[in-house]
């Protein structure tokens, strides 16, 4: 059985179960240098919308529906996201643990960014406590205040994307074309989002083959 512990963080009580990396999904993969670029409302310092605890390798990211976009000339919705290095070929994998705070809804928490003719090849969103691919397939219900282990594998040659939740295959789909991509995670508001969107994300790893 996984080790269970209770953690109090920023006035919230979370029950955490030990979700560690699923070695089988990353065996034979080469780790990349996963140093993110922070994207957050342009009129605020990054530290007003995210923190990083090096001891636990945990990011805390949040944004409000009334926040500004990430650039003065942007027309996109508010976000606080981590963006990783671009790639153009080969197989690439994103891995992390996520915890979505209760009442966070209508928000993207992970993306494969890059495509021909539109912005993204994959968005994993949360709607009323359910994890979805865009607004379509439901991958998991009742995700609030639980650590979820997520692996996303993107083959830039075959344009196939495999999604695993808690080590189990959740969906295989296709990207939307293009010739350059990168992984992102955090909180990116969608249409009519909750007033505050908030997640914790830890043990972020990027790999390639």
- Looking up residue 82, the CATH number of its domain turns out to be 2.60.120.200
Q: What is the pLDDT of residues 143-153, one digit of tens each?
A: 999 999 999 99
d(CA 11, CA 159): 43
- Please count the structural domains in the chain: 1
Burial of 158: CB neighbours in 10 Å, binned 0-12, 13-18, 19+? exposed
Question: pLDDT above 90 covers what percent of the chain?
Answer: 84
Q: Going by C-beta distance under 8 Å and a sequence separation of 6 or more, which residues neighbour residue 88?
A: 156, 179, 180, 181
26 domain-assigned: yes
CA quadruple 112, 91, 34, 53: dihedral sign: positive
Q: Going by C-beta distance under 8 Å and a sequence separation of 6 or more, which residues neighbour residue 8?
A: none
Q: pLDDT (tens digit, 0 to 9) for every residue of the chain, 209 residues total?
A: 444 333 433 334 433 434 444 559 999 999 998 899 999 999 999 999 999 999 999 999 999 999 999 999 999 999 999 999 999 999 999 999 999 999 999 999 999 999 866 789 999 999 999 999 999 999 999 999 999 999 999 999 999 999 999 999 999 999 998 899 999 999 999 999 999 999 999 999 999 99
Q: What is the pLDDT of residues 99-152, one digit of tens each?
A: 999 999 999 999 999 986 678 999 999 999 999 999 999 999 999 999 999 999
| Residue 23 parent element (H or E) | helix 23-26
Question: pTM of this prediction?
Answer: 0.88
d(CA 14, CA 7): 6
- First-residue to last-residue Cα distance in the chain: 32
27 domain-assigned: yes
- Provide the domain limits for residue 62: 21-208
172 domain-assigned: yes
10 domain-assigned: no
Of 45, 63, 144, residue with least CA distance to 98: 144
81 domain-assigned: yes
Q: Compute CA distances 63 → 156, 183, 199, whole Å.
A: 31, 19, 10
2 domain-assigned: no
Return the DSSP state at 159.
T
9 domain-assigned: no
Q: Compute CA distances 153 → 26, 113, 184, whole Å.
A: 10, 13, 13
112 domain-assigned: yes
């Amino acid at each position: 059985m996984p080790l269970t512990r209770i953690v109090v963080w920023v006035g919230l009580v979370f029950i955490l179960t030990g979700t560690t990396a699923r070695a089988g999904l990353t065996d034979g993969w080469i780790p990349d240098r996963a140093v993110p670029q922070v994207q957050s409302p342009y009129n605020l310092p990054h530290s007003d919308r995210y923190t990083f605890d090096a001891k636990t390798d945990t990011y805390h990211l949040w944004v409000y529906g009334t926040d500004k976009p990430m650039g003065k000339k942007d027309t996109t919705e508010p976000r606080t996201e981590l963006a990783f290095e671009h790639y153009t070929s080969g197989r690439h994998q994103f891995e992390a643990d996520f915890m979505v705070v209760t009442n966070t809804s209508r928000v993207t928490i992970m993306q494969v960014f890059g495509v021909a003719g539109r912005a993204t090849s994959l968005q994993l969103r949360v709607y009323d406590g359910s994890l979805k691919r865009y607004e379509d397939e439901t991958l998991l219900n009742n995700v609030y205040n639980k650590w979820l282990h997520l692996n996303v594998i993107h083959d830039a040659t075959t344009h196939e994307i495999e999604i695993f939740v808690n080590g189990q295959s959740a969906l295989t789909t296709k990207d939307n074309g293009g010739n350059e991509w990168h992984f992102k995670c955090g909180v990116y508001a969608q249409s009519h989002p909750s007033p505050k969107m908030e997640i914790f994300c830890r043990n972020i790893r990027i790999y390639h083959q």
